[in-house]
Amino acid sequence: MTIRVLICDQLPVIADGLRTLLDAVPDIDVIGTTDNGMEAIVSVRTTRPDVVVTDLSLQTISGLEMIRRLGKEDDPPNVVVFTASDADKTVSDVLHAGASCLLGKDASPQELITAIQAAAAGQTMLAPNIAQRLVTWFLEQPERQESDLCPEVTELTPREREVTRMVARGMSTEEVARELIIGEATVRTHLYRVRTKLGVRDRAELVSLAYRTGLIHSAGQPLGDERLEPVIGLRAG
């Protein structure tokens, strides 16, 4: 399959050089070049390229804004950003805008060709130095609690958390009621409210979620910063 490519760069010497390079590749067809972001959007609508290769510095609108607008098209092309800037903010902005691949202008011709082929296939490719920085950043981040992925956990009351922990440890409704000196109907009400808030269907899902979100550790101990609802005077002994 031939990959149709549109090149966007405000420097003619670079745009022409890229065209010469890519025209020599059997499965790539350069359908045009432009130094203008708005013109590029119009060209995408009329010529339907598979891949847009662009710098971030363009006329009328920036390459970043062009990428954002292309992402809103009915059939958006994949985008390879080919730029001299590899600052952290540039990398973040480009990826959030929706680009498939990001290369520096020190990339080799083969790296650019490979990036275009990857983008056409719906894959992602980053320059090696950028990929290494992202990996380093990721490894430096603290391990996320699964509760970050289930913000509804924060909506539980202290009593609901306590009942959830007890059930997760294998206690029956009757045992929870006896331990907390409350009615079994009250325990069932707490469990119903917990399942509703967390969107779980049954006790098995509730127990699984309790462990995954850190509501209870595998050893059965609550998190260190949890404050349980006081039940002074209610517990035997």
Query: Average pLDDT per run of 10 along the chain, which is 237 residues long?
Result: 94 94 95 96 95 95 94 90 80 85 90 92 83 73 53 81 83 87 90 85 72 56 34 30
Determine contact, residues 39/63, Cβ cutoff 8 Å. no
- Count other C-beta atoms under 10 Å from residue 50's C-beta: 19
pLDDT score for 117: 93
Q: What is the 3-class SS of 46-107, one letter each residue?
A: HHCCCEEEECCCCECCCHHHHHHHHCCCCCCCEEEEEECCCCHHHHHHHHHHCCCEEEECCC
Q: In what order do the strands lie in the sheet with 28-34?
A: 28-34, 3-8, 51-54, 78-83, 101-104, 125-126
Per-residue exposure over 114-132, b if at least 16 CB sit within 10 Å of its own CB, e if not:
bbbbbbbeeeebbbeebee
Q: Strands 3-8 and 51-54: what pairing?
A: parallel
- Residue 20 bridge partners (DSSP): none
For residue 216, the model assigns a pLDDT of 60
Model confidence pLDDT, tens digit, residues 95-110: 888 888 999 888 899 9
> What pLDDT is stored for residue 147 in this prediction?
45
Q: What residues contact residue 53 under an 8 Å CB cut-off, 6+ apart? A: 5, 6, 7, 8, 18, 79, 80, 82, 112, 116
Q: What is the pTM of this model?
A: 0.59
**Other beta carbons less than 10 A from residue 165's beta carbon:** 20
pLDDT at residue 236, as a whole number: 31
CB 66 within 8 Å of CB 41: yes
Q: Are 100 and 118 in contact (CB under 8 A)?
A: yes
Burial (Cβ within 10 Å: 0-12, 13-18, ≥19) of residue 197? middle
The C-alpha R_g of the chain, in whole angstroms, comes to: 28
End-to-end CA distance of the chain: 78
pLDDT tens for 51-61 read: 999 999 999 99
